[in-house]
Amino acid sequence: MPRFALKIEYDGRPFCGWQRQLDLATVQGTVEAAVRKLDPDCTGIQGAGRTDAGVHATGQVAHVDLVRDWEPFRLTEALNFHIKPSPVAILAVARVDDDFHARFSAVERRYLFRVVSRRAPMTFDKGMAWRVPHVLDAEAMQKAADYLLGQHDFTTFRSSLCQAASPVKTLDELRVEVVPRDFGTEYHFHVRARSFLHNQVRSFIGTLERVGAGAWPPEQVRAALEAKDRAACGPVSPPHGLYLAAVKYPQDPFSQK
C-alpha cells in the first residue's frame, strides 16, 4: 500500500487535543474521517506528536497508508474538501517510502509559544495567544531560559501524567524574541528539541513568565531544574499560546512539493 506524509495546520480551540477519543472532537479523528471518505478501510493516521486540548499547529506531520496511489496534489484537495468546515487544513501531501514514520523518523520538533503583554482584552488573537496584563523583562527571561539548554533531567518540568520512560531530554533551543505591536508587546518563545515530555514546553513558559514579571530571579529557574521536583516548577501556561511549528526529518518529505 502506498504511504503518504501529510503536513497539517489546525486551530486547536474546538478540539480535545490531537489524539482520537471516543465521542470527542479531535484533530486526528477529524482527518481520519476525511481519509475514510476516500478509503473506507483505512486503519488511521499516525501523527508526529500529540498536542493537548487548545494547542495549535502550523506544521504537524502525519502519515497514512492508502489503497490507491494518489497524485499528491489531488489527495491534498480531496482531503481538504472533506475536512470542511473544521479548522484543519492539509498544507501538503508527499509520497514517502514504506519505512517513513511520522513519529519515529522525526529528528527534531519545533514549538512556538506566543505571549502578548497588553492591558486590553484580546479580540482577533483571543484563544491564539496568552495575554498577560504586565510588561515582561525579555533579557531576564532569556537568562533564565539559558539554564535549561542542553541535556538535563527535566522532572521539574514534566507533568505527573507523563508516560515517557525517562525524564532526561536534550533541549537545543529556548529563545525569547520580542515582537513590537501597536498596542502592547508580543513575546515569541522558540523551543527546539528532538522530543519533549508531557507539558514540558508549557511548564517552561509559565515559569519564564514569572521571571519576566519579576516574581522570580533568573537563578531560581536553575534551582528549580536542579531540584528535580515537580513542586519546584512555576505555574503551567495555558495551552492556547502554543503551536507545533515544525517537525524535521533526515530528508524533508515535502521539499519538492
Residue positions annotated with a catalytic role = 52
The secondary structure element, H or E, covering residue 38 is helix 27-38
As a whole number of angstroms, the distance between CA 73 and CA 230 comes to: 46
Helix, strand, or coil (residue 46): strand
Gap between the Cα atoms of 60 and 108, Å rounded: 12
Contacts of 88 (CB under 8 A, 6+ apart): 8, 9, 10, 11, 27, 30, 31
- Taking alpha carbons only, the member of 133, 50, 94, 113 closest to residue 253 is 94
List CB contacts of 58: < 8 A, sequence separation 6 or more. 9, 112, 243, 244, 245, 246
Query: Given CA atoms 118, 121, 124, 128 in this order, what sign does their dihedral have?
Result: positive
The span from the CA of 115 to the CA of 130, in Å, is: 5
C-alpha cell at 116: 502578548
